[in-house]
Amino acid sequence: MPKLVTSLRNSLGFTMIELLVTLVLLGLIVAVVAPGMEAWLMAREAAAQRAMVAGKLMLLPLEANRSGQTIRINSATDLGLDDVALQFEPAIEINSNGYCRGGAFTLTQGQRDYHFDVLPPFCEVKQRDINS
């Protein structure tokens, strides 16, 4: 019986070498993953901003129809988005009957620009191909 007790004592816990190897491996994994994670997070933020802009634009035909007035979007402040870097070229115009004439906008985030087309008649937002 005494032999069983001593073997149990020796097998409990980790050695210092095992802990150091584990910490070094975790450090290497973090060093490899961290740069890609930043790019992924920026892409997710851009997608969220794009969805927010697309949602606001898709509501404009209804708003123009209700108010009976033509709506013209030239900047992000026209959409009530002060914290988003948007540039509209040409301006997006929605007739009083709710028909969206279309247009285009560029969403700038950091060093990258994302280009989108706004398609008539419902102000559907579609990202441009990278090659175009």
Q: Residues 69, 115, 52, 71: what is their CA dihedral angle, to the nearest 10 degrees?
A: -10
Which of the two residues, 122 and 2, has the higher pLDDT score? 122
97-126: pLDDT as tens digits? 999 999 999 988 878 888 999 999 988 989
Range scoring the smallest mean pLDDT among 31-35, 68-72, 91-95, 102-106: 31-35
Residue given tokens 């901003």 in the structure block: 49
- Which candidate, 49, 48, 119, places its Cα nearest to that of 84? 49
* % residues pLDDT > 70 (the chain): 89
Question: Under the phi-then-psi rule, with left for phi > 0, alpha for psi from -120 to 50, and beta for the rest, what region is 102?
Answer: left
